[in-house]
Each structure stands twice: as C-alpha cells, then as structure tokens.
Structure 1
Amino acid sequence: MGDPNVLEMVQEEERRVSREADYIFEMNEQSLSSRETSFLIKEEPTFQKDKQSKDSIFFRDGIRQIDFVLSYVDDVKKEAELKAERRKEFEQNLRKTGLELEIEDKMNSEDGRTYFVKIHAPWEVLVTYAEVLGIKMPIKESDIPQPENIPFRFLLGPLKLARNVKHPHPEYFTAQFTRHRQELFLIDDQSSFFPSSARNRIVYYILSRCPFGIEDGKKRFGIERLLTSHTYSSAYPLHDGQYWKPSEPPNPVNERYILFQNWARFSYFYKEQPLDLIRNYYGEKIGMYFVFLGFYTEMLFLAAVVGLTCFIYGLLSMQSNTSSTEICDPQIGGQIIMCPLCDVTCDYWRLNSTCLASKISHLFDNESTVFFAIFMGIWVTLFLEFWKQRQARLEYEWDLVDFEEEQQQLQLRPEFEAMCKQRKMNPVTKEMEPYMPLYSRIPWYFLSGATVTLWMSLVIACMVAVIVYRLSVFATFSSFMESEASLKHVKSFLTPQLTTALTGSCLNFIVILILNFFYEKISAWITKMEIPRTYQEYESSLTLKMFMFQFVNFYSSCFYVAFFKGKFVGYPGKYTYLFNVWRSEECDPGGCLVELTTQLTIIMTGKQIFGNIKEAIYPLVLNWWRRRKARTNCEKLYSRWEQDHDLETFGSLGLFYEYLETVIQFGFVTLFVASFPLAPLLALLNNIIEIRVDAWKLTTQYRRPVAAKAHSIGVWQDILYGMAVISVATNAFIVAFTSDMIPRLVYYYAYSRNASEPLKGYINNSLSTFLIADIPDHTAPVEKRDFTTCRYRDYRYPPDHDQKYFHNMQFWHVLAAKMTFIIVMEHIVFLVKFLLAWMIPDVPKDVLERIKREKLMTIKILHDFELKKLKENLIVGSNEFAKEVMIQENKAQLAKSTI
C-alpha cells in the first residue's frame, strides 16, 4: 500500500480544485441571474443634465455604444398588463442572448411618457452572430491595383469627390468571419472592427428571433410582432450624430455628417456619390438603389444629348418645312376650307388657322424621329447590359459574390403566424412551422384579383370620362374660337384641339394622382388580406399590384392618344360615335403627335415635380409637428435617441416606392420617346434633383433604417427588361401610325410630281374632298355657307368618283408602308439588341480576374493560417506531453523515496 500521506495530499488537491470549480460556477450563476433579473429592480435615476451630452450614443458609462433603441409608452387600456408581461419576458430573453440593456425612465424623456430601452451588443455577441450571418470581414489588404488610366480623367476632375470620402477604407481581401479564427482577421480595435451598419443588422437579427412568451399554445417571438401589437412603439438604430456638425470625442467618426456634407447638399448636384460610404452607413440594399439611380442618370445623359440634338434639328428646320409652310401660306392653307370638327355647333374653318400647331408638330415629327426611335431601342439595351456589368462589379467590391438571400426577408410575418391554425414540417429545417393550406387563401386571392381588375376598370372609366369631357367642351371652344375670324385668314395661337388637349391633359393628371393615392392604400390592404408567408412574398405581391395599376393609370391616356385617337373617326356623313352620342375625336391635320407630346409633357413633368415636393415637404412637416408636440419639457436633455425617435420612419417599403417611381419614369423615357425626344432630358434633370432629395431626406428627416443586404435590384430588373421589349413595338407604332413620317415618305417616293421640291403639294394630297350637300342635316353647321365642298384628313375617293368616299389606292399603299416599317424597324432593333446582349459579357473580364485572384489569395491565407495553428498545437502538445512525462517520473521518484 502507498503512504497515507501521499493519499492525503492527493485528496486535498482534488478538494481544492473542486472548491475553485464550485466558486467559478457560483459566480457565473450569480452574474447570469443578475443580468436576467435586473429589469425587476427599479434603477435609481442617474440623469444629470450637466454631465451628459445630448449627442452621446453611449450608455451612461460612456463606454458601451448604443446599437439599437426600443421605445414604449405606458398603456392604460385593458391589455396593459399583457404588454408589460411581454416586454418583461422579451427583455429577459434578450439578456440571455448576451445583449446588454439600459432603460431610460419616462421621467427623463422630453414628453414625460416614453420609456427608451437602449441595447448594446458586446464583442462575444457580435462575433457569434457575425459567424451565423456569414458576414465577411477583412483578412489582408488587397494587392490588386486599381485602374488609373481612365479616358478623359482630367475632364472628370470637378465631378470627383475627395478620395478619403469616396473610398473611406482601403480595399481588403475578405473571408466569412469565424470566431475560432479571430487571429486571422485585421482586428485593431474591437469597438470599431464591426461597422455600425453590421452591428445594427446583428442586433435586429436577434430581436427578430427573440421569443417573448407562449400564447394559445404557440411560441411567440420577434420584434415585428411586438410592434404590430403596439407592445413597443418603435425600434430603430441610432444615427451617428447630428448631420450639421461633426461628432465630439468620445463619439466615433460621424459618418452622417460626412454624408450630408458630400452627398445630401443640393450644391453638390454635379458631384459623384460616395457609394462606399452609403453602403457602410445604410447597408447594401439602400446602397444598391443609389448605385442604380446614379447609373441610370449617367446613361440618361447620352440619351438627353441625342434627344436635344434632334429637337434642335427640328427647331432649325421648322421654317424650311414644306408642310407647315403650305399650311401657313394664305394662298394654300388659307384657301383650304376644312369640314367641321363637331356636329351642329362647329363651323367650317381654314387650314391656316392651325399654322402654329403645324410648326410645333414639326419639332417632334421630322426626319430625326425615326433615327431617335431606333437609337433609343439600342440605348435601352446598352443601359440594361451595362447595368449587369455594373452590378457584377458591385457584387465583387461589396463582397456579395456568394450572397445568399437575406434572412430577415425570408422570416415569417407575424400576421401569417397569427392566422395559421395548422402546422407542417419544413422539409429543409425538419422543424414544425405554421402552415396555411391553399383553399384557405383562395377566397382572398379572388378578392385581390377582383379588386385589382375593378380599379383598372375604374382607370379606364376615368380615361373615357376625360375623353367625354374633351368631346363635350370641344364644341364650346369651337363656338368662340373658330367663328367668322377663322374664315378670314386669322391665325389663332390656341386652336380648339390644342386648348382641349391642354385642359384635358391637366384634368387627366389630377385624376391620376387621386386614383393613385387611394389605390396605394387599397393595394396594401388587399395584400395583407392575402396573408403572405414572408416579407419577401408580401413585397413581391405588392410590387405586382402597384406596377400593374400604375402602368395602366399613367400610360393609358398616352396609349389612347398614340394608337386610338383619330384612327376610327369615319368621314363626314358617316362618323363614328362614342355611346351613339359624342363624335369620335379627330387629330389635327398635322397628326396626333402634338397632343401626345402635350400629354406626355404634362403627366411626366407634373408627376416629377409633385413627387419631389411631396418627398421633401411631407417628412419635413411631419417631423416639425412631432418635435413641436414632443418638446414640452425644455429642461430635459432631449437625447440622441429622442431626437431620432421624433424623425419619420423610412419603413420596409421605403425603397419599394422609390424603385416604382424610377421604373414609371423609365416607361415615359422609353415607351413613347419617339414622340417626345426631350423626355430623356426631363428625366435627367429630375434625377439629378431626385438623388439629392432622397439623400437629404434619408440623412436628415428619417430614422436610420436597419441595414440589409441585396445583390441586385430584384424583380425591378425583370420589369425593366419587359418594358424595354415593349418600347421597341410602341415606338415603331408611334412612328408609323401617330406621326406623319410614313405618309410623307410614300408621297415623296410614289406620288410627288415635283423633282426639285418632292414634298410640295403633300398637304393637298393628304386631304380628301367631301360634298357639303352630302352632310346630314342633323350634323351640319347651323350657319349655311356658300362653299360646295370641304376637306378632311383621309385618303378617300372624291364625290365625283364611281366609288366615292371609299378608300383609294394611296390609303392601302400608306398602310402597307406603315406595316412594313414596323416589321423592319422591330427586326433591326431586336437584331441589334440580341447582338449587343451577346457581345457584352454580364461580368467584365477584369472583375472575373479579381474574383479569381481574391478566392486564390483567401484560400492561401486560410491554408497558411491553419498550417501555422497546427504547428503551434503540435509544439504545445509535445511540450504538454513532455511535462506530463516529467510529472509522472517525479511521482514515481517520490513514491520510491517514501518506500
């Protein structure tokens, strides 16, 4: 047997280790217990106004940074106890995840009724969830040189920002963060290693999954459900500081101030955007929107220059235009008596009364129209293909190459969980999830479809009502504008057609805004009634409804003027009637292009001006009113979290409406651009303002949105591709059927008898003759005239022909030429589009090389790190083995000596 002294020594050592383990365990238990139950203890107010800064973004200790803020107000209703219990459970569970909370009592708030829960994510929480979310962090500074030989770089100097603003951080090789490899990453300072956008994204991830109790046998979780039930009134990350001044120590660098100085000021409208800084501060999803808007604006510059050139060409050639010269000539247009444009109240009129309208028409309907329509078909292809490349480059620069769909977009909506009565196993996660069978949703889908159809029908009905308005007031305008004066060679500035078009377009724009306002509310309601499963499904469903409605709402009147007005009029004596009451509208002798241009100008310009004013004024007024109501106790601090609390909420659908506005504008630029070459210029000017308005309101008037990832513009890209294809057809039809280009070309090559001036006599050729005696008595003007014939716009046989008033051969020649032009133009543009799409790679060659280089370097760095760690473990292991051998030998020697 061994010496009892040795056994006693061993037992004593075991007891000592056991006591130390028990002590450590007890201390951990006490620490966890204190964190979990601290919310039960009423904290003593430590508010001291003279010792705290209102711009501080730290806890009271001045060390722990505030990553998120929750707010709530005491509720005196019957659910007050339930809400308090939910908050208590929720905050307790947040502490269990490792988050640190600090509660500001309502007595310290400006309004005296709002509690603020400040949340800080310590280092251990950040590294844990950075690994869960797969956040990429720098491991080595990039050795890939940046391209410097940019063509005409010296010309772009005034447009450039300072390098420290444009690229606030160096380029790095990155890898997905792993807490077990922390030594691999470039961690200089733990407090600033994760940017604030990544910190608030991590905290929101925890908040969206934290449970707050079990109700009706189901586990309830997520901040969104608590916000929906008004348990909390708001949840938001903090801005870095004031936008009008830099931060003071110990606060970190105020990126909000830098963004305001270099991005959100209108005096910087000509400068490039600090895209990396936007991404660092607001996250990739918002950054992607501003990259797209900026790229779209840059591409519009080329289209605007070409469109303006075409307009200037029309302006310079206006005086030499044969058609308008003949119309304005008193000996030609002044001698042509036109048939009445409406029944009974409209009189005969002379063609030269539309002199000004014919000149204006030439500005947009000239030889450059066809060129510009083809150019825009190619431009839209180049825009979309180059955007693919820009997007691919951005995916590399912003570490989105291996991006997976953002988890918060795939999270179940609280409304879906609340309505679900059944549960089903998820085949991927193997967990039971709420499930709603299809038959439960079908009634809501039918209601949704019926509602959308009803509102689209309402848009069509309103458009018809505007048409009826124009038909009704046209006679009124004609009665005092086309009186005896028009038969005495008096040329009027405002013709009945132009006056009716202006007032009708303004009325139509007002109707569009009214319908749009109500439909936005209804579409959001019916989308909720469909009970989408995830936020992504909700946004996709709402996108489809809103785009379909706005497409019909904004473009229906333009489609009517471009493709229907004046096409089914008939002829004197046999006109077509709307509802057998109102005679169908006729186009001006120069065509309907002027009216289409008027319609586009009013709707497009009005929408852009109204949208920018609304975006700027609406949040400004709301914030002013909210601050006015909140600031009742001026002696209180009015802290950083209270200042942000009084700002407007950007919301999860904030970007949705921005994209929708841009896509609708894209439709105006592409679908009808053949009739209005200045549309790209108007869009360019609007977007220059739009970028700064969006930047200003996001930086100054809205709470900071939760950062989210996105590697593309999503479903909007598919919508743009669809509109690009449709635009080729619409512009071909506009040139063929709305403009007067094809009839002039047919006359030029087939019917002109003047070799020196081929278009001379075209106006007379394009007008048919009608015998006044053949006009029915119930449609003839009240006043009788001495004229025997009048003229109207069509290609029909004269009254003395065997087939009088039937279409003549020139009509069929013109129709064949129009159809041939449409087919040829579409095939040419589509062929060029497909060739360009094939020639331009989706991912630029240099980006592919950079991606391969970074992957190679990342693998090498990881390999070297693991190899080094393995060697260190082997050395440590061998040392431990040697130490263990020595201990055993010493024990053996001790045993021998005792024996």
Structure 2
Amino acid sequence: MFDNQNDEEENSNFHLPKMKFSKDELKTIGSLFKKRFTTISKTVVTNRIWLKSAKSSSCHVLLTFPKNTSYDTIFTIMDRILKAGLIVNVKQHKTSSTVGFYITASYERLLQGAEDLEIKKIIKTNYGGGIKEFIFDEQEFYENIENEDLFLTTQERQSIIYDILYQIRCDNNDEQIIVNDKKVPNGRRLIFWCQKYKIISQILPIHDQDDLKELRKNWVFSLFSNQPLDKVCKYFGIKLTLYFAWLGFYTKSLLIPAFLGLAMWLSMGKDEKWDSIFFLVLCSFNLIWSICFNDLWNQRCAELSYKWGTLDMKENLLQDPRPMFKGEYKLNKVNNKLEPHYPEYKRALFRYLITFPTLLAVTGLTIAIMLKMFDLQEFFNHATTNKLLPELMGLTNFIPKMIYANIISFLNSVYKRMCTWLNDKENYREQTTHENHLIVKIVLFQFINSYLSLFYIAFYLQDVGLLKEQLFAIFITRQLTGNIKEAIFPYIFENLKQIKKIDRVAKDEKLDIKPDQELIDNVQRLQRYATKFLEQSSNLNTEKADNYQEEEIPSELSQPEVESLMPNYPDTFGDYLEMVMQYGLMVFFAPAFPLAALFTLFNNFIEIRTDAFKMCFLYQRPFGQIVSNIGRWQDVIETFSILGIIVNCGLLITFGVIQKLLPSVTFYESVAIVIVVEHVFLGFYKVLNYSLPKLPRWIIVAKSRLEYRRREALRTLEMNEMHNIKCSSNN
C-alpha cells in the first residue's frame, strides 16, 4: 500500500522541477530503499556463492561426518580408508561446519577394484573381441586400457571406491578400533557400522558436470527424441537405466491402444449393440496387447543387457549380508568370517503373527473407507437431484470420487511405510531377498487399496457408468497431482533449503564472522597426515601428493559440498511401483474406460521427463548398480497380465456383452462361452511365452561369432608361444 501511495505521489509531482518531502517521509523512503537493497545484496551474495562452487577434479566419492564429531574418530576412520589404498582429501564444509572426505583412488587401485567387482570390459579385436570380466593380470588384452579417462567411466570409478569402502573390516588381527567411545566389534564393516550409529552422515558419488549438462540437454529437455539410454547407463548405471528403458518401451507400446481407444470412445454411445461390439473388441485387443508387450519387452531387455554386458551375469552365491541385517554374530563356515545369523523360525513367527493379520486389518480398513465413500457419493447424488447443491455442469457429483482418489493415494504412502517396517522386522539376510519380499508386500497392499473399490463397482454393483466415472477421477487426480508432488514441489522445497544454508554462509562472510578455528586446525592436521601417508605409499608419487595438498581448503563452496545439501535418491522402487499399479489399471479396466490408454500415454510421456528431471536436477547422484533385468517387477507385470485375462472376461459377463450380441443365448451359456474364451487367451499366453525365443536371433549369432573368434585367437596365441619355445630351444 505504501508503494502505491509513493507511485501516485511521484506521478502527480513529476512536472515540478523540484520535489519536496518532509523529514518523516524521507526517513520512511530511506528505510524502504535500505530494506530493498539489503534483500537484493543478500540474493546477489547467495547467487555468487552458488556460481562460485568449485568443481572438484580430485573427488569421486564424498564422505561427510555430523557436526562436532571428534578429531580422534575422524582420524581413525581416515586411517583405515587410507590403508585400504584410497586417496583422501580433508576439507571443511562451511554450510554444515563439519568435515568432508573427498575420496578418489589411483588408476592401479581402481583396476584392482574393477577385478574384484567383475566389471566387464571390451576385449581388443586382435584377442577375439567381445566383453569379458576384467582381470588385472591380463589388462593388456582390454580396449583403451592405456587411457585412464576412457577405460573406466566415473560411474564405474565411484562403484569401485564404494565397494572398497564397503570391504573395510575390523579383523581379529587388528587392534581394537574405538569410534566415539564405542568399540567396533571384530568382523564388522567399519563404514556401515559407523553409518548405522550415525557416526558418518552420508556417502555419495559426485556428479560430472560435463556429462550432466549433456544429459540435461539431450535427455531432460529433448521431449520428442529417443532417450539416450547408452549415455544414461554410462552415467547412472544399469539398474536405473533399465527402469527408463522399460518406461520408454511401455510408453511407445501404448500408441496403438491409445489411438484405438480414442476411436472407440468417439464412436460409442450411439447404439447399444455397437457399444457391445466395441467393448468386446477392446477386451480382445487389450489382452493380446498385454501378452505381446511382456514377451517383446523380455527380448528388448535381453538386447540391452547384452549390449551392456550383463546378459550372462552369474548369480552371486556368496552374497554378503545387507548392512541392516541383524542377528547374533557367528563364524560363517564358508568364508570363516564373523557374520550375523538370524533363526528362520523367528521370521516365520513374525510373518504369521504380525504381517498376515496386518494385511487382514488393512483389507478391512479399505473396505470400510470404500463403503463410507459410496455413502458420501449417494449423499451428493441426492443433494444435486433435490437441488440442495448446485450441479456445476455435473462437477459436484465428481467431488466424492476425487476425494476418494486422493485418499487412495494417501493410504498408498502410509501402506508403503507400513510394509517397509514389516519387511525390516522380518530381517532378511540378502539385499535381493529383502527387496523381493518388500515388492510382494507393497504390491499386495496397494492392490487391495487401489483396485478393491473398482472390483466392487464392476462385479458387485455392476455399474459401468460409475466405473467409468471412478476411473476418470483416478486418472485425472494422479496426473494432476502425481508429477507435481514428485518433481516440482521437491525441487522448490529442496532449493529453498539449500539457499537457506548457503545464505547463512553468505551472511557470515558479509558480517566477517570468524570461522571455527578448532575445526580448521583439525582439518589441516588430518590433511597433513593424509598427504604424508600418500608420499610413503606406492599408490601415488610425491608430485601427485603435492597437487592434492594444494587443494586443502578452498575459498569458495566446492561442488561436493553443494551436492551434499541435495536429497538422496531413494531407489527405483517407488517409480516402478507407480508405473506397475498404473499398468494394472490399464490391463484390468481399459475396456470399461476406452480413454485409459490415452491418459496413460500422456502421463508416461510426462513421467519420463519428470523422472529424468529428478535425476539431473533434484537428487544426489546414486551409485550405479549392475543387474541383468528388472527383477521381481517383471513377475508382477506378468501376473497382472494373467489376472487381466480373467478380469476382462469377467467384465464381459457382468456387463452382459455376450447376451447383448447374442440375445438367444442364456446367462449360463454366455458364462460358458466366456470361460472358453478365457482359456483360449490363457493358452495363447502360454504358447506365445514358450514359443518365442528368450534371446533374439542376432544375439545368439553374435555370441557364437565371439566364441569362435576367442577360440581362434587363443589358438593363435598358443601357436605363437610354441613357436617361441622351439626357437629358444634351437638357440
């Protein structure tokens, strides 16, 4: 209001050669300008610090500690990391007043770690070509081994360093390690033990700015071009890339169903008989589409896995226990290491006494909420019919449906946390087993929560109109709120949080607040020890050690420090879950709502870019993971496809499609016809599943060709070796 008064006053006095203000007015205007200048200068300082964040070329992985962590604790952990062959730079983080380890490794140590991780690399053509697990003693056989920058990607380097950190143990031969006045038990992994007890804040890989800019340009903002999957795989790893590959394949496969559904929707409503024909056509096409989609995706997945070298990945029979696995420590008879053991009967008791009753309780709660929402719907219908509420072109009756759709979304998040807690309590040893059981639990809970009301409407109420309205409300609600909730809101909130922290540093600089001298002294002492260790180590020569010492304490925020303020990427779990549940809606109820495929196509088109946006702008860079397929999610998708056959055939019965097309047929005869059709589709699914090859023909030919080349190269090497032996014996 004050601004408007000043604007009017300036306009009215603009023609005067000289403006006169009272002392109070001058004082008020001065304070206003001072306030605005302070705000602008604060923003400029904040942006300056953001822009001055220094790219750290000597850091692949960042390890940070909580505030006020003792010097002895940090020194103990750094000493063990250095002894594992890694290179550590110690730096102060201004935004959190704590210490960060900027970790990297020499090329030789990375190659040793590549062998331990069994990373597959390309063989030189004169040695047969193809892809093979890296072997350190045979490194001359591999392509680009001479070029350190080309041979290992930044994602591979980070995975190797992470594995080296993971393998640091407190062995029986070591002295007792004490961290934060706690004795680390023998056999424990030091880093994860420290993470468990909050002694280490976080471990994160650092973004490569050049590669990230290219991905932002060619992936996030290239809306109508194919995803650069090879570049995504090189940067983020195979597991994350397979999710985007599956999502892209799923989205493209929706083009024909979307076009057909739109055509049917435009043609329906004119004649009841033709509506029944369209319904039958949509059911048949929907089932054929879902069956073909799964088999074609399996072949596409095999192609990508072959290209990225994980098609023939061996199952790890010696999996280490996951970090959060709890139990009594005993000697493992296989590897003679102390590992936690948890009796199976305890897990079974918890499953039968807690997990299963919880599932029944959730089912009861879902049914109760569903019935209450139907009562609310009846109230709104009655109110609009009797003119107690305005119809608003029919939008009023959609309010209960929109409310229920949001309740479903909220309960899904609650059930996800509940399932995570139940799964943690069941305490599975291997990470893959833990994830598989979690997938089953959450899918089962969300299946009940998301689909129960739709099944109730379709098979109990048998109201096709209400089913269409409910599906419309679900699709609209998820598309309007889902991507906003996933990407836009977190991006805004996290940026505000980061700016707040950096703004505090800006104020400290502007006000010339003295930093924590004790912390600076500790950082310098740690850095001197690390440099001295590197000078005495064979991993680095003195010249390189001096270069690391020069980066001791930067005058501006470093890139790793800025990234440490970003949220951690949880995993592909939530993204898969969202898409799989959407796939279920599409497979189960697309005939009842012909626009389902079109809405799904539009949503997935946006979903690809919003998920890519999250990875490139919002989250910390995740560690790459090596997988050969999408895992248990493929089993869930195939199960939904089989259930889709049963549900679609059931819809033909409940909506009387067969009887409308064949009036002379009785109800029981129509049921018999539908059962025959159901068995035909199930048989078609099985025949197609077994008849189509698991691997495309070109992959089989390529593998055979590579095997032939390897044998020929091996025979040539053996012949040359024999020839050299004969020559040396003759001499």
Structure 1 residue aligned with 2:108: 124
Instruction: Give the number of the structure whose alpha-carbon radius of gyration is greater.
Output: 1
Q: Which amino acid is 1:302 matched to?
A: I
- Post-superposition shift, 1:221? 1.0
After TM superposition, the structure 1 stretch with the greater mean CA deviation from structure 2, 174-183 or 663-672, is 174-183
- TM-score w.r.t. the length of structure 2 is 0.79
Q: For residues 293 and 382 of structure 2, what CA distance do their matches in structure 1 show?
A: 46
- Post-superposition shift, 1:180? 1.2
- Post-superposition shift, 1:629? 2.5
- TM-score w.r.t. the length of structure 1 is 0.65
The aligned runs of 1:39-188 (5 Å cut-off) are 54-59=53-58, 66-75=59-68, 80-81=69-70, 85-104=72-91, 106=92, 109-111=93-95, 113-140=97-124, 173-186=130-143, 187-188=145-146
Which residue among 229, 234, 237 is the counterpart of 2:205? 237
Deviations 1:722-762 (A, max 9, x none): 11111011111112213x53342243xx3xxxxxxxxxxxx
- Post-superposition shift, 1:559? 0.4
In structure 2, relative to structure 1, the CA distance for the partners of 1:594 and 1:406 (3 Å cut) is farther
Describe the SS at the equivalent of 1:280: helix
Q: For residues 624 and 691 of structure 1, what CA distance do their matches in structure 2 show?
A: 22
CA contact (8 A) 2:65 2:202 kept: yes
Structure 2 residue aligned with 1:745: 661
Structure 2 residue aligned with 1:714: 631
The aligned runs of 1:194-233 (5 Å cut-off) are 194-211=152-169, 213=177, 215=183, 217-233=185-201
The aligned runs of 1:326-345 (5 Å cut-off) are none
Q: For residues 111 and 83 of structure 2, what CA distance do their matches in structure 1 show?
A: 16
- Post-superposition shift, 1:177? 1.2
CA contact (8 A) 1:406 1:709 kept: no
Q: For residues 574 and 703 of structure 2, what CA distance do their matches in structure 1 show?
A: 33
Deviations 1:747-794 (A, max 9, x none): 3xx3xxxxxxxxxxxxxxxxxxxxxxxxxxxxxxxxxxxxxxxxxxxx
Superposition RMSD in Å: 3.0
- Post-superposition shift, 1:56? 2.4
Q: Which amino acid is 2:211 matched to?
A: E
- Post-superposition shift, 1:450? 2.4
- Post-superposition shift, 1:524? 1.9
In structure 2, relative to structure 1, the CA distance for the partners of 1:385 and 1:120 (3 Å cut) is same
- Post-superposition shift, 1:412? 1.6
Deviations 1:707-727 (A, max 9, x none): 110110100111111111110
- Post-superposition shift, 1:137? 1.3
Q: For residues 293 and 148 of structure 2, what CA distance do their matches in structure 1 show?
A: 43
Higher helix content, 1 or 2: 2
In structure 2, relative to structure 1, the CA distance for the partners of 1:871 and 1:312 (3 Å cut) is farther
In structure 2, relative to structure 1, the CA distance for the partners of 1:205 and 1:863 (3 Å cut) is farther
Structure 2 residue aligned with 1:459: 366
Percent identical:
27
The aligned runs of 1:527-676 (5 Å cut-off) are 527-566=423-462, 592-631=463-502, 632-634=504-506, 636-651=555-570, 654-676=571-593
Q: Which amino acid is 1:122 matched to?
A: S
Q: For residues 721 and 420 of structure 2, what CA distance do their matches in structure 1 show?
A: 55
- Post-superposition shift, 1:470? 3.0
Deviations 1:143-180 (A, max 9, x none): 99xxxxxxxxxxxxxxxxxxxxxxxxxxx622221111
In structure 2, relative to structure 1, the CA distance for the partners of 1:504 and 1:406 (3 Å cut) is farther
CA contact (8 A) 1:742 1:814 kept: no
Structure 1 residue aligned with 2:37: none
Describe the SS at the equivalent of 2:124: strand
Q: Which amino acid is 1:94 matched to?
A: I
CA contact (8 A) 1:406 1:708 kept: no
Deviations 1:325-376 (A, max 9, x none): xxxxxxxxxxxxxxxxxxxxxxxxxxxxxxxxxxxxx8xx432110110111
Structure 1 residue aligned with 2:671: 819
Structure 1 residue aligned with 2:279: 369
Structure 2 residue aligned with 1:421: 328
In structure 2, relative to structure 1, the CA distance for the partners of 1:694 and 1:626 (3 Å cut) is same
Structure 1 residue aligned with 2:249: 295
In structure 2, relative to structure 1, the CA distance for the partners of 1:370 and 1:194 (3 Å cut) is same
Q: For residues 868 and 240 of structure 1, what CA distance do their matches in structure 2 show?
A: 44
- Post-superposition shift, 1:185? 1.5
Q: For residues 650 and 406 of structure 1, what CA distance do their matches in structure 2 show?
A: 25
In structure 2, relative to structure 1, the CA distance for the partners of 1:116 and 1:307 (3 Å cut) is same
Q: Which amino acid is 1:367 matched to?
A: I
Q: Which amino acid is 2:341 matched to?
A: Y
Q: For residues 621 and 596 of structure 1, what CA distance do their matches in structure 2 show?
A: 36
Q: How many residues in Structure 1 have an aligned counterpart in Structure 2?
A: 623
Q: Does 1:726 align with 2:643?
A: yes
In structure 2, relative to structure 1, the CA distance for the partners of 1:874 and 1:469 (3 Å cut) is farther
Q: Does 1:479 align with 2:479?
A: no
Q: For residues 228 and 412 of structure 2, what CA distance do their matches in structure 1 show?
A: 34
Q: Which amino acid is 1:179 matched to?
A: F
In structure 2, relative to structure 1, the CA distance for the partners of 1:94 and 1:439 (3 Å cut) is same
- Structure 2: gaps (5+ residues): 1-47, 171-176, 510-554
Q: For residues 620 and 489 of structure 2, what CA distance do their matches in structure 1 show?
A: 15
Describe the SS at the equivalent of 1:633: helix
- Post-superposition shift, 1:833? 2.4
Q: For residues 239 and 63 of structure 2, what CA distance do their matches in structure 1 show?
A: 23
